[in-house]
């Protein structure tokens, strides 16, 4: 038993670590784990800044046998995994626009909890990244450009000194665009809204449920989506990650996918700060 992270990260008897510390501690702990030859499952975000992501890429490239993954858990929702199948099978036609909202609905966590006491906190890295990853996973492509704006109106006068709401527009190589918001100050229950518009049909998921629109006729009824929308526990991805180490299978989220989502999240943060479009690799 120990309360010292470094003792765990340096222990030669430990092969796999799960990191769930404060967001701004993740980078140093990931790097320490990789330097000691350990596989890493880390809660999002894996880091906070672009130079840190670059260091993690280099460390993984130097240790290709090591596995890294993160708890981007919306992929495990049956409703979203079935939607991905429909999109990949062209059942919605050609997807051209996605709209997603990370409605946090727990403002007390940022105005009273640890998030407001850190030197820096990003609502995009800490929440919006879930939807960044989900949309990239559904569409099967990575954005080439990002624009964004943020504000801190909802938490004005509190200890939280960072943007509590960030809205981003993403442009994809196919021409599709997506709007993603990380809305931490909202007067709204915690929820992940998602709409995917295709040339044949539109999928809508919100607090009222999910449905598929296949007609522009205002009198035509939408088809209800019965696939369960569940909120997977953060540890649900760990068994698959451990299995991937043991048998060489793919984890739910690969290291490349984790880093791609982080790269986009960093671009959103830069675009909001600079109030200009940021291009990605």
- Interval 57-112: pLDDT, tens: 999 999 999 999 999 999 999 999 999 999 999 999 999 999 999 999 999 999 99
Q: Which two tokens stand for residue 10?
A: 């340096």
Length of the chain: 281
| pLDDT tens figures, 208-245 | 999 999 999 999 999 999 999 976 676 789 999 999 99
- Output the average pLDDT for the chain: 96
> Mean pLDDT across the stretch 185-204?
98
Residue 195 falls inside a structural domain: yes
Total number of domains constituting the chain: 1
pLDDT at position 268 over 90: yes
Residue 11 falls inside a structural domain: no
CA Rg, the chain, in Å? Answer: 19
Residue 98 falls inside a structural domain: yes
| Residue 281 confidence (pLDDT) | 82
Residue-wise burial string across 136-148, b where 16 or more C-beta atoms lie within 10 A, e elsewhere: bbbbeebbebbbb
CATH, residue 271: 3.30.360.10
pTM across the whole model: 0.96
Residue 6 falls inside a structural domain: no
Burial class (CB in 10 A: 0-12, 13-18, 19+), 202: buried
Residue 173 falls inside a structural domain: yes
pLDDT at position 274 over 80: yes
Residue 56 falls inside a structural domain: no
| pLDDT tens figures, 99-146 | 999 999 999 999 999 999 999 999 999 999 999 999 999 999 999 999
Q: How far apart are CA 214 and CA 200, in angstroms?
A: 6
| Residue 235 confidence (pLDDT) | 78
Residue-range definition of the domain harbouring residue 177: 73-235+263-279
Residue 10 falls inside a structural domain: no
Residue 176 falls inside a structural domain: yes
């Amino acid at each position: 038993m120990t309360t010292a992270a470094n003792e765990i990260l340096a222990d030669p008897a430990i092969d796999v670590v799960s990191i769930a510390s404060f967001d701004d501690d993740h980078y140093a702990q990931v790097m320490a784990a990789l330097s000691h030859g350990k596989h890493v499952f880390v809660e999002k975000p894996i880091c906070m800044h672009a130079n840190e992501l670059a260091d993690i890429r280099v460390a993984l490239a130097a240790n290709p046998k090591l596995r890294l993954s993160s708890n981007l858990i919306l992929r495990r929702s049956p409703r979203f995994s079935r939607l991905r199948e429909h999109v990949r099978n062209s059942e919605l036609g050609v997807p051209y626009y996605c709209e997603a909202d990370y409605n946090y609905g727990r403002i007390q966590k940022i105005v009273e909890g640890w998030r407001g006491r850190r030197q820096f906190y990003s609502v995009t890295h800490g929440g919006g990244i879930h939807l960044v990853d989900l949309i990239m996973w559904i569409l099967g492509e990575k954005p080439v450009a990002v624009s964004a704006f943020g504000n801190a109106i909802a938490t004005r006068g509190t200890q939280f000194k960072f943007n509590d709401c960030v809205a981003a527009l993403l442009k994809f190589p196919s021409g599709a665009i997506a709007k993603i918001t990380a809305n931490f100050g909202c007067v709204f229950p915690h929820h992940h809204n998602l709409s995917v518009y295709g040339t044949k049909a539109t999928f809508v998921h919100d607090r009222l449920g999910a449905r598929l629109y296949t007609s522009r006729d205002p009198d035509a009824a939408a088809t209800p989506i019965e696939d369960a929308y569940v909120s997977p526990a953060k540890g649900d991805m760990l068994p698959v990650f451990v299995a991937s180490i043991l048998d060489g299978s793919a984890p739910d989220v690969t290291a490349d996918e984790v880093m791609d989502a982080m790269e986009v999240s960093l671009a959103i943060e830069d675009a909001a700060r600079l109030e200009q479009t940021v291009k990605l690799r």
